């Protein structure tokens, strides 16, 4: 992950379960999102970016620090 912080859950579960995801897409979402918001229940941060290869928006969730990647998945419901 090139030194970027990620959770164990992200490494063990997300990347294995969704092997089609590329880490650089996740970084693009965090570094240059089209939209972002703070989750009200746990202060984690959600970021969205458009991924042409998926033809969908990718949602990336970080811990409260806004940097440590915890989850990522194509978001069918996000509309900009």
Domain boundaries, the chain: 1-8+26-80
Angle CA(77)–CA(13)–CA(61) in degrees, nearest 5? Answer: 45
Q: For every one of its 80 residues, what pLDDT tens digit does the chain have, with 9 covering 90 and above? A: 678 999 999 999 999 999 999 999 999 999 999 999 999 999 999 999 999 999 999 999 999 999 999 999 999 999 87
Cite the beta strand spans of 2-44 per DSSP E. Answer: 35-38
Q: Determine the pLDDT at residue 21.
A: 97
* Tokens representing residue 20 in the block: 């089609």
Q: Could you give the CA distance from residue 18 to residue 34 in angstroms, rounded to a whole number?
A: 22
Nearest to residue 48, comparing CAs of 37, 35, 61, 38?
Answer: 35
User: Tokens 């897409």 identify what position?
Assistant: 25
Q: Determine the pLDDT at residue 2.
A: 73
Q: Determine the pLDDT at residue 30.
A: 97
Q: Determine the pLDDT at residue 79.
A: 85
pTM of this prediction? Answer: 0.94
């Amino acid at each position: 992950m090139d030194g970027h912080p990620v959770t164990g859950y992200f490494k063990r579960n997300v990347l294995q379960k969704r092997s089609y995801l590329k880490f650089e897409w996740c970084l693009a979402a965090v570094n240059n999102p089209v939209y972002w918001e703070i989750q009200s229940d746990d202060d984690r941060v959600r970021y969205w970016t458009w991924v042409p290869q998926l033809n969908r928006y990718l949602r990336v969730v970080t811990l409260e620090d806004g940097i440590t990647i915890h989850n990522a998945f194509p978001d069918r419901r996000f509309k900009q």
